[in-house]
Structure 1
Amino acid sequence: MLRFKTKLEADVALREMREQKRQMGTLPTSSPTVEAWFARWLKVQIIPNKRPKTAKTYEQYVRSYIVPALGASTSIAKVTPDTVRRIEAFVLSQGLSPSTATNAYHYAAAGLEFAVREGVLFFNPAKRVDPPRKAVPDLDVFTLTDSVRLLEYLIVNKHPDRALWATYILTGARRSEIAGLEFDRVGEHLDLSWQIQRLEYTHGCGGSCDARRAGNCPKRTIQKPHDYEARPVKGGMHLTRPKSRSGWRIIPLVEPLRTLLLEHKAEAPENEWGLMFPTRHGRYGWLVPPDPDRITHEWPKLRDEVFGPGRRVRLHDIRHAAVDLLYLANVPENLITEIIGHSTRSMTRAYKSRSDEMMLRKGMESLSDLFTPPETARTLEIGS
Structure 2
Amino acid sequence: MASIRRRTLPSGKTVWQADYRDAAGNRRHKQFRKKGEADAFLVTVRSQLAAGTHTPDSASITVEEAAGLWLERCRRDMLEATTIRQYRAHVNLHIVPRIGATKLSRLTTPAVNAFADQLLRDGRSRDMANRVLRSLSAVVAEAKRKGLVAANNVRDATPIKKGRRGESRPEMPTRDELKAIIRATDDQNRPLILTAIFTGLRASELRGLKWEDVDLKAGVLHVCRRVDRFNQFGPPKSAAGTRDIPLTPTLLKTLKEWRLACPKGELGLVFPTGAGNVESHGNILARLFWPLQIRAWVVNMIDGKDEEGKAIKVPDAKYSLHALRHAAAALWIEQGLSPKRIQTLMGHASIQQTFDTYGYLLEARDDDKAAMAAVEIGLLT
- Coarse TM-score class (shorter-chain normalised): 0.5 to 0.7
Q: Which has the higher contact order (CA 8 A, sep 6+)?
A: 1
Q: How does 1:178-189 map to 2 (within 5 A)?
A: 178-186=206-214, 187-188=216-217, 189=219
3-state SS of 1:237 partner: coil
Q: Which of 209, 228, 235 matches 1:241?
A: 235
Distance between the aligned counterparts of 2:338 and 2:112, measured in 1?
Answer: 43
Match of 1:368 in 2: none
> Which one is further off, 164-173 or 55-64?
55-64
Distance between the aligned counterparts of 1:9 and 1:50, measured in 2?
Answer: 46
Q: For the structure 1 residues 25 and 59, does the alpha-carbon distance in structure 2 shift closer, same or farther, using more than 3 Å as the test?
A: closer
Structure 1 contact 34–70 (Cα < 8 Å) conserved: yes
Q: For the structure 1 residues 322 and 159, does the alpha-carbon distance in structure 2 shift closer, same or farther, using more than 3 Å as the test?
A: same
Match of 2:353 in 1: 347
Question: What is the CA distance between 1:313 and its match in structure 2?
Answer: 3.1
Q: For the structure 1 residues 54 and 343, does the alpha-carbon distance in structure 2 shift closer, same or farther, using more than 3 Å as the test?
A: same
3-state SS of 1:288 partner: coil
Q: Which of 284, 295, 312 matches 1:295?
A: 284
Match of 2:332 in 1: 326
Match of 1:143 in 2: 174
Give the alignment's TM-score, normalised by structure 1. 0.67
Structure 2 contact 198–247 (Cα < 8 Å) conserved: no
Match of 2:70 in 1: 41
Match of 1:307 in 2: 297
3-state SS of 2:124 partner: coil
Aligned AA (1:99): D
Q: For the structure 1 residues 316 and 30, does the alpha-carbon distance in structure 2 shift closer, same or farther, using more than 3 Å as the test?
A: same
Match of 1:193 in 2: 223
Q: Which of 254, 257, 262 matches 2:251?
A: 257
Distance between the aligned counterparts of 2:154 and 2:291, measured in 1?
Answer: 43
Q: How does 1:259-274 map to 2 (within 5 A)?
A: 259-274=253-268
Question: What is the CA distance between 1:301 and its match in structure 2?
Answer: 3.2
Distance between the aligned counterparts of 1:254 and 1:197, measured in 2?
Answer: 25
Question: What is the CA distance between 1:111 and its match in structure 2?
Answer: 2.5
Residue deviations 1:78-122 (CA, integer Å, cap 9, x gap): 545675456446545664322212222332244335545655446
Residue deviations 1:13-37 (CA, integer Å, cap 9, x gap): 3234345545659954433233212
Aligned AA (2:172): V
Structure 1: any 5+ residue segments left out of the alignment?
200-235, 281-285, 360-384
Q: Which of 89, 94, 113 matches 1:60?
A: 89
Distance between the aligned counterparts of 2:102 and 2:53, measured in 1?
Answer: 26
Residue deviations 1:166-192 (CA, integer Å, cap 9, x gap): 110111122122221212333133433
Aligned AA (2:94): Y
Aligned residues: 311
Structure 2 contact 70–142 (Cα < 8 Å) conserved: yes
Q: For the structure 1 residues 75 and 141, does the alpha-carbon distance in structure 2 shift closer, same or farther, using more than 3 Å as the test?
A: same
Q: For the structure 1 residues 131 and 11, does the alpha-carbon distance in structure 2 shift closer, same or farther, using more than 3 Å as the test?
A: farther
Distance between the aligned counterparts of 1:253 and 1:108, measured in 2?
Answer: 40
Structure 2: any 5+ residue segments left out of the alignment?
1-28, 301-316, 364-381
Which structure has greater strand proportion? 2
Question: What is the CA distance between 1:275 and its match in structure 2?
Answer: 1.0
Structure 1 contact 197–291 (Cα < 8 Å) conserved: no
Match of 1:317 in 2: 323
Residue deviations 1:113-150 (CA, integer Å, cap 9, x gap): 55456554466554675343444314332232322222
Structure 2 contact 267–277 (Cα < 8 Å) conserved: no
Match of 1:97 in 2: 125
Distance between the aligned counterparts of 2:151 and 2:340, measured in 1?
Answer: 41
Distance between the aligned counterparts of 1:85 and 1:23, measured in 2?
Answer: 22
Q: How does 1:141-180 map to 2 (within 5 A)?
A: 141-154=172-185, 158-180=186-208
Distance between the aligned counterparts of 2:291 and 2:115, measured in 1?
Answer: 36
Aligned AA (1:148): K
Aligned AA (2:140): L
Please report the RMSD computed on the Cα atoms of aligned residues, expressed in angstroms: 3.5
Q: Does 1:15 align with 2:9?
A: no
Aligned AA (1:292): H
Distance between the aligned counterparts of 1:26 and 1:322, measured in 2?
Answer: 49
Distance between the aligned counterparts of 1:106 and 1:8, measured in 2?
Answer: 35
Structure 1 contact 17–27 (Cα < 8 Å) conserved: no
Structure 1 contact 192–247 (Cα < 8 Å) conserved: no
3-state SS of 1:96 partner: coil
Distance between the aligned counterparts of 1:239 and 1:116, measured in 2?
Answer: 32
Match of 1:224 in 2: none
Distance between the aligned counterparts of 1:321 and 1:14, measured in 2?
Answer: 57
